[in-house]
Amino acid sequence: MFERFEKLIDPFAEDTLEVPPTGFLAFCWHFTKPVWPILLTISFFGALIAAAEVYTISFLGDLVNWLENTDKQTFFSDNWLVLLGMSMFVLFARPLLEVVWELLFHQGIMANLPMSIRWRVHRYLLRQSISFYQDDFAGRIA
């Protein structure tokens, strides 16, 4: 069931080994460059979820105003379609958005991106010479 999301990132992908950049943002981009479409999709779904939350709270405020300003006897007959639409939104659309975001984030990114970074750094360190590890400062870090 989760396999499709777990295979979005290959943590052991064979790519070219190059020296990671020295700047912080460049260093982060170096390791997240292969997964930027997934990160963009996660951001998009996060924005949709936030908009859905704001819309739900706004609708509840409007609902209170409607109940205050309309006839209580005819409220459901006058507004049943809006209430049905909002209940479908709350019962189906919002949970679907949440599930897609959770699957992309936890199964797609958090399962494999850290392993991908570790694997790329490990492969880079394997190329170092023995003298790199014999250096006193590098030896303390390793």
Can you read off the two tokens belonging to residue 92?
A: 């189906």
Residue 139 pLDDT > 70: no
130 compared with 24, residue with greater pLDDT: 24
What tens digit of pLDDT does each residue of 2-40 get? 888 888 888 888 888 888 899 999 999 999 998 999 999
Neighbours of 99 (CB within 10 A): 11
What tens digit of pLDDT does each residue of 57-113 get? 999 999 999 999 988 899 999 999 999 999 999 999 999 999 999 999 999 999 899
Percentage of residues of the chain with pLDDT beyond 90 = 63
24-28, 40-44, 125-129: segment of lowest average pLDDT: 125-129
Nearest to residue 90, comparing CAs of 46, 131, 58, 43? Answer: 58
**Residue 66 contacts by C-beta under 8 Å, 6 or more apart in sequence?**
75, 79
Q: What is the pLDDT of residue 11?
A: 87
**Strand boundaries in the chain, DSSP class E:** none
What tens digit of pLDDT does each residue of 111-122 get? 899 999 999 988
Cα gap 31→117, rounded to integer Å? 6
Total number of residues shown for the chain:
142
Cα gap 25→99, rounded to integer Å? 30
The residue to which tokens 């999709």 are assigned:
41
